[in-house]
Amino acid sequence: MTDLDSLRDFWQEADPPLAERKACLRDFWDMSRTPDHWITSAAVVDVGWNDIRSFEARLNKFLEASPQLLRDYPDFVPVFPTHIGAIEQASAFGCEVIQLRDEDTLWARQLIHDYDPDYILGMTMPSVDAGLQGECLETARQAEAFFGGAIPVRIGDMQGPVDVAGQVWGEENLFRAMFEHPAAAHHLIGLCTDLLIAFHQAQEAVVTEFIGLHCPANQWMPPEYGTALSEDYAPLLSPRLYEEFSLPYVNRLSEACGGVFIHCCGAFEHNWGNFLKMKNLRGINPAPPEIDWPRFVQTFGEVCCLAPDMSHGGPKIWGDAEGFRKYLEETTPRSAHLFL
C-alpha cells in the first residue's frame, strides 16, 4: 500500500490551497450569491469497476491521480469515493448482484418476482450494513483511518426511493401496485426511504468530513448541504404519480439529511414542476437524452446549481468542447451556478 507520509504534500501544498478551494465552492453553492465564474473542475478519480471492491486498489488510484488533478483544475477538491454501484440499496434488501459478460457495471436481480402486495406489506427495513452497503461503510471507515480526516469521504451510490423499490419488486409490479394496491407501493417506497436515510447517516457518522454528493462525482459539496439521489424513474412516472409516490419521500430524505441534489437520466421535463416542490433542492444533474437547455436554465437557474453533463442537445448542437462552451455562453446567463 502507498505510504501516506510520502504523499501528504499533494494536498497540503496545493495551489490554491484546499481551504481556499472549499471556500470558493461554498460561495458557489450559495444561491444568494452571484458566482464570479462557472466551476470547471470536470475531473474525477476513475477508480475502475474491476478494482472498485478493493480498498487498496481504490486508494492507490486515488493517490496517483489526485496530484495532477489538483494542478490542472483550481476548483478541484479531492474526495475519496466509496461507491460500488447503483445496486447498493437493492443488495441490502437481498437482491442478487450480477455482472453481465463483457460489462463492468454491476446489476441487481429483482428480489420479488410475484405480484404479491400482501407479502410487500409484511416487509421490514434491512440492516443498514447489509449487502454492498456494508462494503461501502467499511470503505468509509478504512478511508477515515488512513487519512485521519484530512481528506473528505464521499457517500456511496444513492438511488431514489422509487428506483430502489423498482429494483426490489420489479418495475412492472411496482407500477401496477401504484394503481391497484397503493398501500403496498407506499410501504415499500417508505422502507427504501428509511434505508437511504439510515445509510446516509451511518456513513456520515464514521468520517470527519462527509460529502453527500455521489453524482456528478467530480464536485465537492458542503457537508451540511445534504445528500444526492438518482431519480431515474422520474421520466417514467406521470406528474400525478410522481407527486404521490416519489416527491413526499424525496422531501423526507431532504429534511432528514439537510438537502438534496438530484441526478436524473432520461427525459423528465414533464416532472419539472414536481422538482420545483422539492425542499432544499441543492442542484440538478440532467443526463441524456437531450433537454431543452435554455428552458431548463429559465426554470431552475435561480433555484439551484446546475450540472449540464451531456444532455443539452449533444454533439448535433454544440459539436465539440469549444462549441459546448460557446453554446452555454449563448444560452445561459453568466449568473447561473453551473458545473462544467
Per-residue pLDDT of 219-245, as tens digits, reads: 899 999 999 999 999 999 999 999 999
* Average pLDDT, integer, range 191-195: 98
Where residue 69 falls among pLDDT bands split at 50, 70, 90?
confident
Lowest mean pLDDT among 45-59, 68-82, 135-149, 321-335: 45-59
What is the structure's pLDDT at 105? 80
Give me the percent of the chain exceeding a pLDDT of 70.
90
Whole-angstrom distance, CA of residue 338 vs CA of residue 24: 13
Q: Residue 131: pLDDT above 80?
A: yes
Half-sphere exposure of 27 (CA within 13 A, CB side): 14
For 39, counting Cβ atoms within 10 Å of its Cβ (0-12 exposed, 13-18 middle, 19+ buried), the class is buried
Winning range, highest mean pLDDT, from 144-153, 180-189, 319-328: 180-189
Where b means 16+ CB within 10 Å and e means fewer, 51-77 reads: ebeebeebbebbbebbbebbeebbbbb
Q: Which CATH architecture has domain 5-331?
A: Alpha-Beta Barrel (3.20)
How do residues 282-333 score in pLDDT, each as one tens digit? 999 998 777 888 999 999 999 999 998 766 555 566 667 677 778 888 889 9
Of the two residues 265 and 13, the one the predictor is more confident about is 265
Q: Do residues 180 and 190 lie in contact, with contact meaning Cβ atoms separated by under 8 Å? A: no
Q: Which residues neighbour 29 within 8 Å (Cβ) at sequence distance 6 or greater? A: 221, 222, 225, 282, 283, 305, 337
Average pLDDT, rounded, for the chain: 90
Q: Count Cα neighbours of 168 within 13 Å in the Cβ-side half-sphere.
A: 31
Higher pLDDT, 46 or 19: 19
Length of the chain: 340
pLDDT tens readout for residues 9-31: 667 778 899 999 999 999 999 99
Q: What does the domain layout of the chain look like in residue ranges?
A: 5-331
Higher pLDDT, 47 or 227: 227
pLDDT for 1 = 42
- Greater pLDDT, 170 or 329: 170
pLDDT surpasses 50 at 253 = yes
Residue 3 has pLDDT above 60, yes or no: no
Max Cα-Cα span within the chain: 61
